[in-house]
Amino acid sequence: MSIIRIMGCMAGGVVMVASAQNKDKVLAQFEGDTYGEWTIEGKAFGTGPAKGTLPGQMKVSGYVGKGFVNSFSGGDGATGTLTSPLFTIDRKHISFLIGGGGWKEKTCMNLLVDGKVVRNAEGPNVVPGGSETLDLASWDVADLFGKKAQIQIVDVATGGWGHINVDQIVACDTPPPAPQRNVTREVTADKRWLLLPVKNGGQKCKVEVRSGAEVLRFFDIELAEGEPDWWAPLDAGAWQGKKLTLWADKLAAGSKGLENVRLADEDIPKAGLYEEPLRPQLHFSPRRGWNNDPNGLVFFNGEYHLFFQHNPYGTGWGNMHWGHAVSKDLVQWTEVDEALYPDALGPMFSGSAVVDHANTSGFGKDGKAPLVLIYTAAGNPATQCLAYSLDGRTFTKYAGNPVVQNITGGNRDPKVIWHAPTGRWIMALYVGRPEKLHTVELLASPNLLEWTTVSVVQGDKGGGHYLYECPDLFELPVAGSVEKRWVLFGADGQYAVGAFDGTTFKPESERLKGHCGTAYYAAQTFDNAPGGRRILITWLQAPSPGMPFNQCVGIPQELGLSHTSGGVRMTRRPVLELKALRERSVPFGPSDLAAGGKRPLADVEAELVELRVACELTPDAEVTLDLRGVPGRFEAGKQELTIAKHKTAWPVKEGRLELIVYVDRTCVEIFSQDGLHYAPVAAIPDAAKKTVTLAVEKGSAKGVQGEAHALRSCWK
């Protein structure tokens, strides 16, 4: 469309009037599948406009419509140019949206007249982190009136932020009002909470809370210009009675966002909390904001601690803090105060926690063992740091941070364990080496403070994700034997089984698939769990659209190892503690179902369901499940399970299908009863449907039996 307009004005020889106010003219809005008559050189721009964020890119926002120029095609390494046909300058300004890399003359947009650059602009970013938001900018081109010109978008940068994003190029006489820069407001912290108005999808601006020259908090936020979708609480408890300066940059023109920030005694009204329509009821999610990875999973002083990657100020990824929740039983979680805030070393990326029983770190006091958090400060460069606590509620960052200097550009997600046989701490650290070589470096320390690399586990080059981010390393017994094995996994769940002598991990298997769903990423296991249990919680990538929070974590699972014909494999089973959620349990069967037969499982009407079902299928059998409107299908011949739109291999032995299914408001999690298969899938059941049904479409199902449990909410 855009391209057609630009062409129209050139081919049609638009009559130019250098008069008062002409209507704005869109030069390019990149909504088509191709760039039309723009000339593409190199690979960076792909074959046409991007329709959103590209694989491996942080979430892009701020573009108009569906399409925009995004030179991340082929990643940061690709280069190229994109050049418009000639057009005539017939307005006083050219406005546009621009984002991505801020490398002068390398990731930029130029205005060319007679082939010479007469105006230029680049994106905002040159350091890791930053934001993929496109911002408004404009050129005053009044002095070029009547000239023939071209727009050229350039990406000749190949390192970090080696890409440029552009959209909505408009010729106009009055440029759109520029965002407000450096706006300030003074407040006195006379109440504990600062409440910040948020509009999901609104224009992002930068906000700081300052005391004099000291920056106490800093973050990006979609500050609502008027009526907010929700209020993001910021704890001002530490600065009571003080004068604070609220500072905002790039606040939308005319926005009341900063004026509307208010102080309150309460952070979040209790009424309606945890009852929101898309609030998961069996899974933990933060009260407000976004979560991704679970962090610092640990049992300390009688409580399970779940820290998590948290954006307290938006429902998308960003501003990484460590949020914090505690539980006595892994079922009911209480969210407590934010544990780690971004600081001068960077945002708080993922990491782990240990109980330092022998006080090797010296952080303990009066015989109390400290809880130690080991995390990535994702500044430039990223480093590994410590924080500690004696009460499990308040955290002090170690004054000697960082404890591990940057190894290469990308290193993050330290997972620390105590290795008793060698009497030292071992850290598994993700290290991304050049050319996308993913490795896990193993470091050792006597005291958590000083670390030495002891070995490197080589990963894949290129696309493979085994060992990409969030490693975890632990030992497990093999069921039914006296054997033990070590397991090393990465963020996508792929794992290797092997041996670890305190220095080197030796895999005995090829990398193995850890799950067969879609919504699983960056899982972690608990340190110090009672009874030596190995309990895992994953980030469950299940969105809650339109809510003041987004995403959740998976139900806790107990890990084990089993001998199979293919070798030793990891098993996952929902923790037994979840039985506490069963409100009403109805056993059913055994009964036989022929083709056309249907069985409501059982006469249970429930919104939240746990279903355990087993049956013997004929080799040609096809059975379907209706999980409150979320469709499921198992094809015995192909040994394939489909849940919602996701199809996966699901091998069964001798036609015996044995499933454990959890149905929540934003997801379905399915386990095989032998623990060898696990499929978490994001799906929103039909709010009006409260039944779960099994039907046989082909073949037959014998001895259909099990239990259906109506569950209560874990928040009550």
Catalytic residue positions?
Answer: 293
Question: Of residues 320-359, which lie at the interface with ligand FRU (CB under 6 A)?
Answer: 320, 349-350
- Tokens found for residue 475: 């030992």
> How do strand 549-550 and strand 289-300 relate by DSSP bridges?
parallel
Single-letter residue type at 153 = I
Nearer to ligand FRU, 285 or 642 (CB): 285
**Closest separation in Å from C-beta 381 to ligand FRU:** 14
In this complex, which beta carbon is closest to ligand FRU, that of residue 38 or of residue 521? 521
At closest approach, how far in Å is the CB of 292 from ligand FRU? 5
Shortest distance in whole angstroms from residue 413 CB to ligand FRU:
5
Residue 522 Cβ vs ligand FRU, minimum distance, rounded to whole Å: 4
What are the helix and strand counts (H, E) for the chain? 1, 52
Q: Is the Cβ of residue 248 or residue 297 nearer to ligand FRU in the bound state? A: 297
Restricted to residues 435-464, the positions that interact with ligand FRU (CB under 6 A) are none
Whether 664 contacts 616, CB under 8 Å: no
Which residues have a Cβ under 8 Å from the Cβ of 681 and sit 6 or more positions away?
517, 518, 519, 643, 644, 646, 667, 668, 669, 670
* 252 Cβ contact partners less than 8 Å away, ≥ 6 residues apart: 179, 180, 202, 203, 205, 223, 225
Binding residues for ligand FRU restricted to 603-662, rule: CB under 6 A: none
Residue 399 neighbours by CB under 8 Å, 6+ apart: none
Q: Which residues contact 665 (CB under 8 A, 6 or more apart)?
A: 277, 278, 279, 280, 281, 544, 607, 608, 684, 685
44 or 470, CB closer to ligand FRU? Answer: 470
CB of 351 to ligand FRU, least distance (A): 8
User: Both tokens of residue 314?
Assistant: 């938006």
Choose between 61 and 713: whose C-beta lies nearer to ligand FRU: 61
Does residue 291 belong to the site contacting ligand FRU (CB under 6 A)?
no
Nearest CA to 575 out of 622, 613, 614, 530 is that of 530
Site string for ligand FRU, 102-141 (x = CB under 6 A): ----------------------------------------
Whose Cβ is closer to ligand FRU: residue 84's or residue 376's? Answer: 376
| CA 461/CA 459 separation, integer angstroms | 7
Binding mask 152-171 for ligand FRU (x = CB under 6 A): --------------------
Q: Spell out, one character per residue from 6 to 35, where the chain touches ligand FRU: x when CB under 6 A holds, - when not.
A: ------------------------------
Encoding tokens for residue 192? 């504990």
Is residue 309 near ligand FRU by the rule CB under 6 A? Answer: yes
Residue 321 or 569 with smaller CB distance to ligand FRU: 321
Rounded Cα gap, residues 515 and 554, in angstroms: 13
Number of residues that bind ligand FRU (CB under 6 A): 14
**Upper half-sphere CA count for residue 350 (Cβ side, 13 Å):** 27
Residue (369 or 491) nearer to ligand FRU, CB: 491
Q: What's the min distance (Å) between Cβ of 345 and ligand FRU?
A: 14
What are the C-alpha distances in Å from 205 to residues 126, 165, 183, 379, 490?
18, 18, 11, 20, 34
Among 293, 441, 558, 610, binds ligand FRU (CB under 6 A): 293
Q: Is 559 in the site for ligand FRU (CB under 6 A)?
A: no
- From residue 637, alpha-carbon distances to 593, 623, 624, 697 in Å are 18, 11, 14, 13
Closer to ligand FRU by CB, 73 or 319: give it: 319
- Residue 377 to residue 382: CA distance in whole angstroms: 6
| Cβ nearer to ligand FRU, comparing 97 with 232 | 232
Cα-based distances in Å from 183 to 133, 138, 542: 20, 21, 36
User: At closest approach, how far in Å is the CB of 375 from ligand FRU?
Assistant: 9
* Helix residue ranges per DSSP H, 546-607: none
Residues 6+ apart with CB under 8 A from 649: 516, 639, 640, 641
Establish if 522 lies at the interface with ligand FRU (CB under 6 A): yes
Spatial distance between the Cα atoms of 383 and 347, rounded to a whole number of angstroms: 11
The CB-of-402 to ligand FRU minimum distance in angstroms stands at: 15
x/- track of binding to ligand FRU for residues 399-438 (CB under 6 A): -------------xx-------------------------
**Structure tokens, 164:** 């440029």
Residue 81 engages ligand FRU in binding (rule: CB under 6 A) = no
CB of 542 to ligand FRU, least distance (A): 15
- 469/577 with CB nearer ligand FRU: 469
Q: Find the shortest distance in angstroms from Cβ 385 to ligand FRU.
A: 13
Q: Are 155 and 45 in contact (CB under 8 A)?
A: yes
**Distance of closest approach, residue 213 Cβ to ligand FRU, in angstroms:** 29
For ligand FRU, the closer of residues 360 and 524 by Cβ is: 524
292 forms part of the interface with ligand FRU (CB under 6 A): yes
Residue 48 in tokens: 């046409």
The total number of residues shown for the chain amounts to 716
Binding mask 470-509 for ligand FRU (x = CB under 6 A): x--------------------x------------------
Q: Is 291 exposed, middle or buried (0-12, 13-18, 19+ CB in 10 A)?
A: buried
Q: Which of 469, 492, 616, 622 binds ligand FRU (CB under 6 A)?
A: 469
The rounded distance, in Å, linking the Cα atoms of 550 and 286 is 8
Residues 229-258, one symbol each (x = binds ligand FRU by CB under 6 A, - = not), give ------------------------------
Residue 550 as a binder of ligand FRU (CB under 6 A): the answer is no
d(CA 368, CA 359): 8
Q: What is the CA radius of gyration of the chain?
A: 28
CA distance 382 to 303: 31
Q: Under the criterion CB under 6 A, does residue 376 sit at the interface with ligand FRU?
A: yes
Rounded to the nearest whole angstrom, what is the least distance from the CB of residue 311 to ligand FRU in the complex? 9
Measured distance CA(471)–CA(416) in Å, rounded: 10
Q: Which amino acid is at 272?
A: G
Residues lying near ligand FRU in the complex (CB under 6 A) are found at: 292-293, 309, 320, 349-350, 376, 412-413, 469-470, 491, 521-522
